[in-house]
Amino acid sequence: MRYLTTLATLASVIAGPAVLLAQGTAPAPAQAPKQADTGKADAAKAGVKDPKKASSKAKAAKPPPPTPAKELFGAAKTPAPMAARAIGFYAKGCLAGAAALPIDGPAWQAMRLSRNRNWGHPDLIALIEKLAAEAKAHDGWPGLLVGDLSQPRGGPMLTGHASHQVGLDADIWLTPMPDRRLTEKEREELSATSMLAPDRVSVNPEVWTEAHIRLLKRVASYKQVERVLVHPAIKKAICTNAAAKEQDRAWLNKIRPIWGHYYHFHVRIACPKGSTNCEAQPPVGNEDGCGAELDRWLALIKNPPKPGPPGPEKAPITLNQLPVDCRAVLAGAAAPAQPPGKQAKPAGKKATVTK
């Protein structure tokens, strides 16, 4: 975890703070083993009476630390029944009136259903549905396997992702959808395919195809899409492809290099109209990002920085640190409970309304 943080910090130096907020869902590294609370254990072993016991009452009077917001938002099983609104920033906010991506569509299937993270702002849901249909019709892409969007009320998550908090981020697998409906078990257990060659600075021609480039170009060309995050080797593959030699190159800079992101790409859309408390990111500009910046990234991939010594644990975000409207989102009356798998349909219908 610390290693990732160090890498992300380094990445932010190179590509601006935005990349810090864009962690993806590629298979997570194994958790570091939990450290024993050695102080207590030693005292217990020695059978020593705690000399500080007298002061422990005073200690107990202190208010307990606030519950991390990830526990509060992680426990919310249904969306807040309010008008749809992305509140706050991609990595510090929440989501009112979320819609669910239906778990099956004409050109997509949602994965890892047990996580209950197929929720997003209705604009994001509509965009994924449009991408799936258009990529299937025009790009030779058989369908999308859709990974994490947001929790029903957005907010910080118990596992993975610094961003994905306001319903405007989506992870989509780079593995094409198989030509059949996956079972629930397969959606939990199926592994995504890495696109990297063994050298890690280029893509593997056995799995990487022109259709991947067409798909990524399509998503980056949508006006609402502000960033598409991919591994530097994938950015390189796109930059060197013939499609990148076109006149219109503005879409290329929306394709941003970042650590990870070789099993999936991450789509981030702009703050939707009406989300007045949504905090925008700076635009990426009109460069193509295929020059010196990409070279720096590829050099970093070849020689990744060594992890530094572990620093102090970062305190988790609390509800107080989120926009004040997130309290109302959290308190919003719960929608009637529905069996898992079925919840997606009604909200999904709402999301397909054309704009």
Site residues (vs Zn ion, CB under 5 A): 24, 171, 266
Contact 227, 18 (CB under 8 A): yes
Q: What is the CA radius of gyration of the chain?
A: 22
Q: 123 vs 171, which CB is nearer to Zn ion? A: 171
Q: 6 vs 23, which CB is nearer to Zn ion? A: 23
What whole-number distance in Å separates Cα of residue 146 and Cα of residue 133?
13
| Burial of 49 (C-beta count, 10 Å sphere; 0-12/13-18/19+) | exposed
Beta bridge partners of 99: 120
Q: Which residues contact 329 (CB under 8 A, 6 or more apart)?
A: 80, 82, 87, 94, 95, 96, 153, 154, 155
Q: What are phi and psi of 172, to 5 degrees?
A: -125, 135
What letter does residue 207 receive in the DSSP assignment? Answer: T
In this structure, how many other beta carbons lie within 10 angstroms of the beta carbon of residue 156? 27
For the residues of 194-205, what is the DSSP string, one character each?
Answer: P-B-TTSSSB-T
Q: How many helices (H) and strands (E) does the chain have?
A: 12, 11
Q: Which residues contact 212 (CB under 8 A, 6 or more apart)?
A: 174, 195, 234, 237
Contact 135, 215 (CB under 8 A): yes
Q: 24 vs 93, which CB is nearer to Zn ion? A: 24
What letter does residue 173 receive in the DSSP assignment? Answer: E
Contact 69, 319 (CB under 8 A): yes
